[in-house]
């Protein structure tokens, strides 16, 4: 598999890696996460920073020691990732947009400063069922529901698996998870606003 965007070489593995992602708040979209390996070791943590807990200013992906790896700003309908702590005038390293493929639920990922590198995300993040493909149509990562090994019960959507293929940067993959979470949150807000909008009958009354 051709090497792609690297956020941090430490998270590129020589064999397939399965990470457990736990959403640390269930009240709002775009809140924190913690990520563990199969041995229960903390790999990443994600925190949101902003004056209003409902309107997070920045979402930051950090390593287990609190070092900032990637920043995702909370800008409505602008889905981007920045290396490290985002600074004034800094350009994103990747952006995500809805695909124009008819009849398919997909997102395209554009990587800047690396011509020809792009990804396609297919599936439904809200259902924790997505696959990330590279430009060669190879699967590089997958998001899926986690099953309790002892009871064979599918766990809730606040806990899911992020499976990485060898050579694909886990920090970049988590950056895409954060953007997908933002997109899912934007859709939730839009649907909620649509439900609250006045109907024709309301206008008559």
| Cα–Cα distance for residue pair 122/109, rounded to 1 Å | 11
Chain mean position to CA 75: 15
Residue 100: its pLDDT value, please?
62
Q: Residue 174 — φ and ψ, nearest 5°?
A: -70, -35
CB atoms inside a 10 Å sphere around CB 90: 12
| Cα–Cα distance for residue pair 5/123, rounded to 1 Å | 22
Structure tokens at 23: 């959403």
Q: Which of 183, 94, 58 is nearest to 130 (CA)?
A: 183
Instruction: Quote the pTM value.
Output: 0.82
pLDDT tens for each residue of 60-115 = 999 999 999 999 886 666 789 999 988 888 899 999 988 765 555 689 999 998 87
Q: Residue 154 — φ and ψ, nearest 5°?
A: -75, 125
pLDDT surpassing 80 at residue 122? yes
Instruction: Give the CA count within 13 Å in the CB-facing half-sphere of 198.
Output: 6
* 164 vs 57 pLDDT, higher one: 164
96 in helix, strand or coil? strand
| Cα–Cα distance for residue pair 95/179, rounded to 1 Å | 9
Residue 30: its pLDDT value, please?
47
Q: Name, of 115-119, 130-134, 178-182, 195-199, the range with top average pLDDT.
A: 130-134
pLDDT surpassing 70 at residue 205? no
Residue 95: its pLDDT value, please?
92
Q: With bands split at pLDDT 50, 70 and 90, how would you rate the model's confidence at 129?
A: very high
Domain boundary assignment for the chain? 17-93+145-186
């Amino acid at each position: 598999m051709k090497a792609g965007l690297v956020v941090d070489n430490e998270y590129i593995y020589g064999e397939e890696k399965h990470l457990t992602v736990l959403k640390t708040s269930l009240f709002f979209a775009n809140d924190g996460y913690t990520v563990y390996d199969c041995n229960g070791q903390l790999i990443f943590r994600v925190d949101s920073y902003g004056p209003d807990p409902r309107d997070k200013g920045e979402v930051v992906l950090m390593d287990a020691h609190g070092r900032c790896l990637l920043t995702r700003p909370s800008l409505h309908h602008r889905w981007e990732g920045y290396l490290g702590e985002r600074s004034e005038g800094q350009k994103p390293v990747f952006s995500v947009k809805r695909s124009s493929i008819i009849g398919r639920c997909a997102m395209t990922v554009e990587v800047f400063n690396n011509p020809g590198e792009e990804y396609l995300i297919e599936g439904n993040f809200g259902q924790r069922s997505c696959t990330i493909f590279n430009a060669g149509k190879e699967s590089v990562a997958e998001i899926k529901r986690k099953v309790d090994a002892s009871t064979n019960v599918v766990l809730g959507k606040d806990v899911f698996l992020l499976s990485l293929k060898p050579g694909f940067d886990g920090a970049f993959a988590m950056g895409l998870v954060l953007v997908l979470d933002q997109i899912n949150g934007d859709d939730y807000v839009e649907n909620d606003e649509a439900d609250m909008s006045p109907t024709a009958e309301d206008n008559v009354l």
